Structure 1
Amino acid sequence: MSQTMRGLMDSAKKLDSVAQRKISVVLGAAVADAAARPLHWVYDNAKLQSYIANVKETPEFLYESKSPFYSLPTGENSCYWDIAEASLKFAAENTTYSHKGLCDILARDFSPGNEKGYDMDARQVYMTKRSMGQKIDGPLDGKWFQGAVIEFLNNYKEGNGRVPFGGPKIKETDGFCLNLPLVCKFADEKNMDKISNEVIQTLSSYPTSVSHGMVASEIIRKLIQDPTYNILSIKDEIKSKYPDVSKSIAGIENVVSEKMDHVKAVIYVFGSPCYNPGSFQGAIHAVVTSNSYEEAVRKTIRAGGCNCSRSFFIGAMCGAKFGLEGIPMDWIEKTIHAESVLKLAMKAYGGNAD
């Protein structure tokens, strides 16, 4: 571990317990996303099991990218974390909420010439070939530009006038990812629900994604306040406001009561794609059936599909539950951007980090 990283971790551990949990939420999400990334979007579970045959107990940070869609060095993050990083930058630079300020940073981070290397043209070529049944010469080399961000850029940067900027057919969890660092920043604000709703709809206005993103955000807020909070108990708390999400949580309870293996639950009950409610359900199931950060992330990596979206939420929940000490140090060291994440998180939630 670098001297800078060691100093940051030592400084973070001197903060009050709530500030520490806020930092461990975002760091936990970033690290878990990176851990799952090499096996992102492997929907053929037989192939996935062959890829991890020699590392079944420790499938995190696989030495080689096996995603059929895009390839990145081990330790890099998916678009899910990069979305969250944009709002973490906003949280680090601002003390009050501004939707325009947030959107400006998000647009900047994904516009042409961005430092992460997101290339909309390369993605379009790939998707055109795929839709026409043409031969694709392996996965795209570099970051995968997610549809939610593309739609946001079209609506916000191009100024076509549509509000909210999030697409009505975006079923994924991108909106929640954008909101996560702001839940940590503004958890005590009386209008947090209003903020969350606006932020989530920046990337998705699909009703199921919005409702599940709102409840996922509330779960994080409650865990920041009390790391022993019983996640499944939120089912009754939100029953009148979000009946669809209450039903989703009841589904998790049924699977837990049947003691179904997580991999089977994700593949046969919740579904392994990126969509809500399945991604939401799979993430919560992993956490409530695990005793550690590592156990929860590892089991969902083995389940395949969109394990990055599940791992992101798992890492955030487990970060709050188990704290900074609960995130394995060797996993943090393997996450390429962990130091920059921790610097931003310290500035956002615990004071400046030079």
Structure 2
Amino acid sequence: MVEQAQGAKWPPPVPIFDNLLETGGGRMQGDSLFDTIVPEQPVDGSVCSANNSVRDFPLCTQERGGGGSRSQLNEVSGWNQEVRNRERAQPASSGQLAGTRFLFCSQCLIIKMTDLSVQERAVGAVVGSLVADAAGQPLHWIYDVKRLDQILKGREGTPEFVDPGQGPFYRQPTGAQSGYGDQTLALLKALVAGKGFDVQLYRQELYKTFGPNSEYDLKGKLKGQDQVQTGGYRHASIKAFLTAYEARKEKTGSSTDPQMDGVAKVAPIVALYAGDPKLPQYVEEVVRVTQDDNLAVQCSIAAAAILEEFILHPPREGFLDRMKNRLELSVIADRLPKILQQHTTAHREVVQQIGSSCALPGNLLNSLHCLLVSPNLSDYSNTMRQTMTAGGCNCSRLSFVGACIGAAVGSRGIPDDWIKKTRHGDLIEKLSQDLVALRVSG
């Protein structure tokens, strides 16, 4: 590993990337990833090209495409860390980086996304979904945004993984999944075990996750000092599923449940079947296990079509405008024009206008708006932070938005420390890789 040298020029010359470190960012200008990087503020330790000293970059700004979209990027931990996948570095003779996936910030992780394979995007979708859910779980279902702002006072830029959790309805350890994330994880495990979708295996995994003697079984569990229940929260559709499963009913889904559960857990099924014409059928089968509700199914199919696009093709700004007439999106077609018009409106403002509850189609539209305001669809951390702090049912939004941006940047574009803070993060990565391997072997 190359250490940061006193007086070293910033940015380092291109050849140093052959065995180097992630570089802390600044402003990127132009169409390439390495036209210019200019630090946003003076820091010590080394010297940038403008003779400012460099320590780290707690705040930097990405600017792409000659004055196009900008995004705020946070918490660069310095450029003292070896670049992941450095063996893929192919510095071009022009002095720019060609064919690389260099991360210019260890937190914001700006990546040249066009170099990712479908398999890498699929893995990123699953990991991105589950990590985002865990990051926002301590702030789940806080509908009072004034209280949310009080909780985050002093850490407004880093709302992820608040410890201890502050949710008003349940308390799980920081890093654990919400009830949405645990449904996703149950589906992931079932798909890997069955080498594809097997409804009985999925039901068994759901029952194991949420049934008797699970952390969602609250019998004998005490409330905390603030009278909030410790342990997981069983959603209405999960309660209905458990009752029907124990009664050995053929249909286990709740007949009326137009909520975000199906949308939130699409990542594993789309990661496995993206590109398969039967994908909508698989999504419907998954959703009806717990939600035998037509609106829930239709919205989940719409979400799956959008995520499929992120996995199969390098995402680009304007994706929703190009997809708005797709049959799969017909359930929200009449609401899309307004969402598209609000692409310059603050995300929290839109969420509060539409409503921040788990209800459909509202929270799916909230999720799509978050993607619309995500600059270049490349900034995982700050995209998650936007919807994490918009209030209400943030975890269902995070699960879907995290899948989309995770697909855009790949699993290497998801901050390492976020994955490490996610309970069973290593297992999630392995299961995601095993799942996507079935795309090839199958």
Could you say whether these structures have the same fold, taking a TM-score greater than 0.5 normalized by the shorter chain as the test? Answer: yes
Q: CA-to-partner distance for each residue in 1:249-298, whole Å, 9 max, x for gaps?
A: 22311322xx2111111012x21011111211111111220121112111
Structure 2 match to 1:276: 360
CA distance in 1, matches of 2:423, 2:248: 35
Higher strand proportion? 2
CA distance in 1, matches of 2:393, 2:404: 18
2:369 to 277, 280, 285: 285
CA distance in 1, matches of 2:196, 2:231: 34
Q: Aligned residues: percent identity?
A: 30
Matching of residue 307 in structure 1 with residue 394 in structure 2: yes
3-state SS of the aligned residue for 2:342?
helix
For residue 188 of structure 1, report the CA deviation from its aligned partner.
3.4
CA distance in 1, matches of 2:424, 2:321: 32
Q: What is the RMSD computed on CA atoms of the aligned residues?
A: 2.5
Please, which moves more after superposition, 97-106 or 308-317?
Answer: 97-106
Task: Report the residue type matching 1:271 in the other structure.
Answer: G
Structure 1 match to 2:133: 33
1:266 to 351, 357, 360: 351
CA distance in 1, matches of 2:145, 2:283: 35
Structure 2 match to 1:322: 409
CA distance in 2, matches of 1:78, 1:250: 31
Which runs of structure 2 are paired with 1:152-163 in the superposition (5 Å)? 152-161=241-250, 163=251
Matching of residue 23 in structure 1 with residue 108 in structure 2: no
Structure 1 match to 2:290: 203
Task: Report the residue type matching 1:103 in the other structure.
Answer: R
Task: Report the residue type matching 1:84 in the other structure.
Answer: T
CA distance in 1, matches of 2:358, 2:220: 22
CA contact (8 A) 1:80 1:174 kept: yes
1:119 to 217, 229, 243: 217
**Alpha-carbon spacing, 1:90–1:232, altered in 2? closer, same or farther (3 Å):** farther
From the CA coordinates, give the structure whose radius of gyration is larger.
Answer: 2
CA contact (8 A) 1:107 1:157 kept: no
Q: CA-to-partner distance for each residue in 1:182-231, whole Å, 9 max, x for gaps?
A: 12112233322211111112221232222111110111111110132513
**Alpha-carbon spacing, 1:234–1:122, altered in 2? closer, same or farther (3 Å):** farther
CA distance in 1, matches of 2:355, 2:393: 9
For residue 59 of structure 1, report the CA deviation from its aligned partner.
1.1
CA distance in 1, matches of 2:329, 2:399: 22
3-state SS of the aligned residue for 1:236?
coil
CA distance in 1, matches of 2:124, 2:174: 22
Structure 2 match to 1:129: none
Structure 1 match to 2:184: 84
CA distance in 1, matches of 2:196, 2:154: 49
Task: Report the residue type matching 1:142 in the other structure.
Answer: G
Structure 2 match to 1:3: none
CA contact (8 A) 2:191 2:198 kept: no
For residue 120 of structure 1, report the CA deviation from its aligned partner.
5.2
Task: Report the residue type matching 1:272 in the other structure.
Answer: S
CA distance in 2, matches of 1:329, 1:242: 34
Higher helix proportion? 1
**Structure 1 stretches lacking a partner, 5+ long:** 1-8, 127-135
CA contact (8 A) 1:19 1:349 kept: yes
Structure 2 match to 1:5: none
CA distance in 1, matches of 2:341, 2:143: 24
Structure 1 match to 2:109: none
For residue 121 of structure 1, report the CA deviation from its aligned partner.
4.4
Structure 2 match to 1:57: 157
Structure 2 match to 1:6: none
CA contact (8 A) 2:218 2:231 kept: no
CA contact (8 A) 1:175 1:202 kept: no
Please, which moves more after superposition, 310-319 or 221-230?
Answer: 221-230
Matching of residue 234 in structure 1 with residue 323 in structure 2: yes
For residue 174 of structure 1, report the CA deviation from its aligned partner.
1.4
CA contact (8 A) 2:179 2:233 kept: yes
Structure 1 match to 2:6: none
For residue 166 of structure 1, report the CA deviation from its aligned partner.
1.9
CA distance in 1, matches of 2:365, 2:277: 27
The count of aligned residue pairs is 323
Structure 2 match to 1:184: 271
TM-score by length of 1: 0.84
Task: Report the residue type matching 2:324 in the other structure.
Answer: K
CA distance in 2, matches of 1:137, 1:122: 17
Task: Report the residue type matching 2:236 in the other structure.
Answer: G
Task: Report the residue type matching 1:182 in the other structure.
Answer: I
Task: Report the residue type matching 1:106 in the other structure.
Answer: L
Matching of residue 109 in structure 1 with residue 196 in structure 2: no
CA contact (8 A) 2:265 2:400 kept: no
CA contact (8 A) 1:120 1:145 kept: no
CA contact (8 A) 2:266 2:400 kept: no
Please, which moves more after superposition, 90-99 or 281-290?
Answer: 90-99
CA contact (8 A) 1:86 1:178 kept: no
CA distance in 2, matches of 1:173, 1:59: 22
**Structure 2 stretches lacking a partner, 5+ long:** 1-83, 89-100, 102-114
3-state SS of the aligned residue for 1:71?
coil
**Alpha-carbon spacing, 1:79–1:209, altered in 2? closer, same or farther (3 Å):** same
CA distance in 2, matches of 1:80, 1:36: 11
**Alpha-carbon spacing, 1:96–1:301, altered in 2? closer, same or farther (3 Å):** closer
CA distance in 2, matches of 1:260, 1:140: 36
Structure 1 match to 2:56: none
CA distance in 1, matches of 2:410, 2:390: 25
CA distance in 2, matches of 1:16, 1:223: 11
